[in-house]
Amino acid sequence: MFFGKTQEKQGLNIIIVGCGKVGSTLVERLSAEGHDITIIDEDADRIQELADYYDVLGIVGNGASHSVQEDAGIREADLFIAVTESDELNLLCCTIAKQDGDCQTIARVRTPDYIKDAAYLQSSLGLAMIINPELEASREVARLLYLPAALSINTFAHGRMELIRIKIAEDNLLCGQTIAKLGQNTDFKILIAAIERKEDVFIPSGNSQIENGDVISFLGTRGEAKKFLSYIGFETHQVKNTMIIGGGKASFYLASQLLQMGIDVKIVEKSKKRCEELSILLPKAMILHGDGTDQELLTEEGVAHVEAFVPLTGIDEENIMLTLYAILVSDAKVITKINRMAFKDVITKLDLGSVVYPRYIIAEEIIAYVRARKASMYSNVETLYRILGDRAEAIEFRVNEKSEVTDIPLMELPLKKNLLVCCITRKGMPIIPTGRDSIQVGDRVMIVTTHTGFNDIQDILV
């Protein structure tokens, strides 16, 4: 059964199997990027809903079926993405797609046993990428618990540089300072890349002044970032202990990373069977059988005294309520995992602190890959993040050949407004550039901009 789109789009031909949370997010984002999308799922109602809303082609059927893939146009596809709830089905779908089509394949694989063999699976099955929303979300949470002063942390230059987002309080020494004055008074190798002020987001100039309540995003190495945060009065030590509510895959991945970091972990899980499994998998963690939404239980287990509190249940409403409760009774660093985006504006106004959206993390990885496929021979997209409440992009390009942007001082380039060249990585060494620096062949160049849809480094020019 087909549900059809009304017009052709310019872009890659992409087939997506599975229309759950991750699949629907990919349809939303990749459709907005101008790609020709075909979706496959056995849920006819879900297919029709997405096909009508996003104007994509929908096919009802089993994505592992050769005939269904043929109906979806596998032989003309550039990219095939399998994100059903089953790891095995996703891998099978990609294997069949590779047999009949000349396309790149991406599979969602979440089971820890398979993730151990991710490199082998990717190589032997010829996959372009293996994605795991729970694992990527846990990595983001772990970064935040390493540096709890941050609202969010994005990494660039193969982890050498971090874009860190913090909120400026009324008594902070940055209040009233301009960017230029800050640079004159300090010698920290950091760069303030963006400022959020109430409903506005802007890329600052030297004359921009930091005000009470601003949320600033600054770029630097981890070492320089810690020095800067300490200088302006923020805590820079990682947390010592964490309470996690829920014992699913994300909790397992997060607990494993935190234990390796030397952080004590306590997990509260409803299912006795899952508690027994986690006790074997995580012998160094404390596993408690109980309802994590029970206030009395949380009080008994010391929620008021923990340094970090991370609700990772499968229900967004529970995660939000648990976060609000923890903020009320403790001074813990609280991180909220949210899967759905239906009430994003409301969630933003709740001041939940750090919020992690697993399916958007994965969408950004795939969009970066897709834009790299579209990019010219001059450059490729290495990394991409939607930042500042989805109102800006931070993009890292790899510069492969000479072009209009190379070998010219940045101050002489006709750059678009609301765009900042934040970092140049040359021979593995990150540089925060001045106007006298230039982009050279072989560099990796990071920009922050309120524009969207950049595929090539030359898109930074007017």
Residue 315 belongs to a domain = yes
The CA-atom distances, in angstroms, between 18 and each of 50, 94, 258, 261, 388 are 11, 12, 32, 35, 29
The percentage of residues in the chain with a pLDDT greater than 70, rounded to a whole number, is 97
Question: What pLDDT does residue 343 have?
Answer: 64
Please give the Cα distance from 348 to 135 (Å, whole number): 24
Q: Do 444 and 380 form a contact (C-beta atoms < 8 A)?
A: no
Tell the residue number behind the tokens 């990885």, with chain if given: 365
Residue 36 belongs to a domain = yes
Please tell me the total count of domains within the chain: 4
Q: Are residues 166 and 89 in the same domain?
A: no
Q: Are residues 10 and 115 in the same domain?
A: yes
CATH number of the domain to which 86 belongs = 3.40.50.720
Q: Is the pLDDT of residue 348 over 90?
A: no
β-pairing verdict for 354-356 and 286-289: unpaired
Q: Do 211 and 176 form a contact (C-beta atoms < 8 A)?
A: yes
Q: What is the pLDDT of residues 89-112, one digit of tens each?
A: 999 999 999 998 889 999 999 999
Q: Are residues 10 and 52 in the same domain?
A: yes
Instruction: Please measure the distance between the N-terminal and C-terminal CA atoms of the chain and give it in whole angstroms.
Output: 46
Please give the Cα distance from 300 to 293 (Å, whole number): 13
Question: What pLDDT does residue 341 have?
Answer: 61
Q: What is the pLDDT of residues 377-433, one digit of tens each?
A: 888 999 999 888 788 999 999 999 999 999 999 999 999 999 999 999 999 999 999
Residue 236 belongs to a domain = no
Categorize the per-residue pLDDT at 344 as very low, low, confident or very high, splitting at 50, 70 and 90: low
Pick the closest to residue 217 from 394, 382, 81 (CA basis): 394
DSSP assignment of 330-373 = ---EEEEE----TTHHHHHHT--SEEE-HHHHHHHHHHHHHHHH
Please give the Cα distance from 94 to 265 (Å, whole number): 37
β-pairing verdict for 215-220 and 161-167: antiparallel
Reduced DSSP (H G I as helix, E B as strand, rest coil) percent helix, strand, coil of the chain, to 5: 35, 25, 35
CA 109 to chain centre: 17
Q: Are residues 127 and 144 in the same domain?
A: no
Q: What three-state secondary structure class fits 430? A: strand
Q: Is the pLDDT of residue 144 over 60?
A: yes
Q: Are residues 80 and 123 in the same domain?
A: yes
End residue of a domain, out of 309, 335, 356: 356
End residue of a domain, out of 173, 200, 231: 231
Q: Are residues 169 and 256 in the same domain?
A: no
Backbone angles phi, psi at 180, to 5 degrees: -65, -45
Contacts of 457 (CB under 8 A, 6+ apart): 378, 379, 397, 399, 403, 405, 439, 445
Q: What is the mean pLDDT of residues 140-147?
A: 96
Question: What pLDDT does residue 379 have?
Answer: 87
Pick the closest to residue 137 from 398, 365, 358, 293 (CA basis): 358
Q: What is the pLDDT of residues 317-341, one digit of tens each?
A: 999 999 999 999 999 999 999 987 6
Q: Is the pLDDT of residue 9 over 90?
A: no
Tell the residue number behind the tokens 């971090």, with chain if given: 162
Q: Are residues 449 and 403 in the same domain?
A: yes
Q: Are residues 321 and 442 in the same domain?
A: no
End residue of a domain, out of 213, 231, 249: 231
Helices and strands per DSSP (H, E), number in the chain: 15, 23
Q: Is the pLDDT of residue 5 over 80?
A: no
Q: Is the pLDDT of residue 435 over 90?
A: yes
Please give the Cα distance from 214 to 195 (Å, whole number): 7
β-pairing verdict for 36-41 and 57-60: parallel
Q: What is the pLDDT of residues 207-257, one digit of tens each?
A: 999 999 999 999 999 999 999 999 999 999 999 999 999 999 999 999 999
Contacts of 184 (CB under 8 A, 6+ apart): none
Q: Is the pLDDT of residue 8 over 70?
A: no
The two structure tokens encoding residue 439: 């982009």
| Residue 428 domain boundaries | 364-460
Higher pLDDT pick, 390 / 51:
51
Residue 194 belongs to a domain = yes
Q: Are residues 196 and 291 in the same domain?
A: no
Q: Is the pLDDT of residue 342 over 80?
A: no
Q: What is the pLDDT of residues 307-320, one digit of tens each?
A: 999 999 989 999 99
Q: Are residues 256 and 161 in the same domain?
A: no
pTM for the predicted model, two decimal places: 0.90
Q: Are residues 335 and 386 in the same domain?
A: no
Please give the Cα distance from 30 to 272 (Å, whole number): 41
DSSP assignment of 78-146 = SEEEE--S-HHHHHHHHHHHHHH---EEEEE---HHHHHTHHHHHHHTT-SEEE-HHHHHHHHHHHHHH
Q: Is the pLDDT of residue 190 over 90?
A: yes
Q: Are residues 30 and 111 in the same domain?
A: yes
Categorize the per-residue pLDDT at 349 as very low, low, confident or very high, splitting at 50, 70 and 90: confident
CATH number of the domain to which 214 belongs = 3.30.70.1450
The two structure tokens encoding residue 335: 């991180």
Q: Is the pLDDT of residue 6 over 60?
A: no
Categorize the per-residue pLDDT at 4 as very low, low, confident or very high, splitting at 50, 70 and 90: low
Considering the chain, what is the average pLDDT of its residues? Answer: 93
Burial 225-262 (b: 16+ CB within 10 A, else e): bbbbbeebebebebbebbbbbbbbbbbbbbbbbbbeee
The percentage of residues in the chain with a pLDDT greater than 90, rounded to a whole number, is 84
